[in-house]
Amino acid sequence: MRIRFVAAALSCAMLASLGGSGAARASGVQPSPTVSQPVVEGPIPHGVGMRSGRPYGESLLPLPAGWVEEEFFYGGTAYSGPNKTGTSAAYTSRFLVRRPANAQDFNGTLVFEWNNVTIPHDHDATWQNYWQTVFSRGYAYISVAAQLLSIEASPIALKQWDPVRYQSLSHPGDTYSFDIYQQAAEAALDSAVLGDLRPLVQRRIAMGASQSAGRLNTYINGWHEDSGVFDGFQPQVSGAGSVRRDVAPVLWLNSQSEIGTSQVAPDSGQFRLWELVGPAHTTGYSNNYRWAMLAYAHSNGSANIFDSDDAGAWGYQLPPGSCGIYNHFFAGPIWGAALVALDDWIRTGIAPAPQPRAARDANGRVYDDHGNMKGGVRSALLDAPIATYYAGGVPATGEPCAAGGAAPLTGVTKVFDAATLAALYPTPGAYLTQFEASLDAMLAAGTLLPEGKAEYMRRAGMANVGGALNSSL
């Protein structure tokens, strides 16, 4: 496995400018009076339970020096309605915390992922897109088992995976998931969870992908106004048309799979939408991480097969002219920039500028000569392209990768043939020059961070476009 960290740690001075220094900060976020306060147990040590005594879902991407990953159980009484209304039920759930060990490396923001259960298991579906930003910017990242299928009622739920380690967990049903999720944000304020970081907590951000984003939509519309637990929201890859725009900053991220022929209403109030053209609902990178996570868990932690470099390529690992299963668009650095944009919005009260929406005309979505979609949040992967990235809605019939139209969630990738690559990029330098110019445009637009540019350039150097790739067939 090859793991490299670009800008793996910010200097203390830079973290202080982000709010990471405790010297000039107040006592931190306080618990919500309208949310029940759960009891916290942990950290749960390694060696407890079966499966080598390890927590389920631990990061396959190694934590850098000075970081810890710990598991906690939390529980109490959950309610079916906000502000302790509706019916009540007892529960015990869990979350994983990845955080700086030292307070001086913490930027003051806690990020809470509503774990996805579509597979169905307890899956932090966005971690593989955010890890470099979390590490380089000093966030604390907490993945929350909010739903029934995370805990039980699935053959690969926590209690079935390790009935010894997770025997005390209990979930009363998804009617209570909204309260269980927000109570995780309260539980994380316990000093047992954060230690010296606790007084420095200034912001809490909620995020979730796909079906979890749909749950967050419901939470924003019906729960947040009463609890005020979260300072902002980042739902992803789900329909954004019905979410309220008046209760908290919402920076919604969608892939090309969610870009329909009709447009979500223009940004307004506390709502911003980024329509990222190119990636599918789930990419080759995220698919490979998920399957590696399952393999790792069911091998009792004896085999980590995730390779962040190969899985994160944007098609250059495929021969020219070929089709690869999955859409191999690498979007993580853009997702990371969106997290920082939302965090800055919360810190300053200044909303980010609206981003261009994907191109549509009277006939639907608009594609360029390479079959890639026009408009939207742009990327060097499309402005210096080496492939067509299908994410459903294939623009032409008879293409070798036309099956991508029947795979709107995973898409496919079609690498340009050797003649097209040679015409576009006669030398590696020609490719890298065009690629870097597009990255600089992304920096100017606020959709990429400096460390994201460095990571893209590192990977672009592996592509060797204009050299080995062109001559491999």
Rounded to two decimals, the pTM is: 0.92
Q: What is the DSSP string of 18-34?
A: TT--STT--S-----TT
Rounded alpha-carbon distances, angstroms, from residue 420 to 44, 54, 290: 55, 49, 33
For the stretch 102-160, pLDDT in tens is 999 999 999 999 999 999 999 999 999 999 999 999 999 999 999 999 999 999 999 99
For the stretch 289-307, pLDDT in tens is 998 999 988 887 777 888 8
Structure confidence at residue 31 (pLDDT): 93
pLDDT range class, residue 13, cuts 50, 70, 90: very low
Rounded alpha-carbon distances, angstroms, from residue 13 to 9, 103, 147, 161, 394: 11, 13, 40, 44, 48
Sort strands 412-415 and 387-390 into parallel, antiparallel or unpaired.
Answer: antiparallel
pLDDT range class, residue 329, cuts 50, 70, 90: very high
More confident residue, 29 or 185: 185
Strand partners, 72: 95
The one-letter amino acid code at 171 reads: H
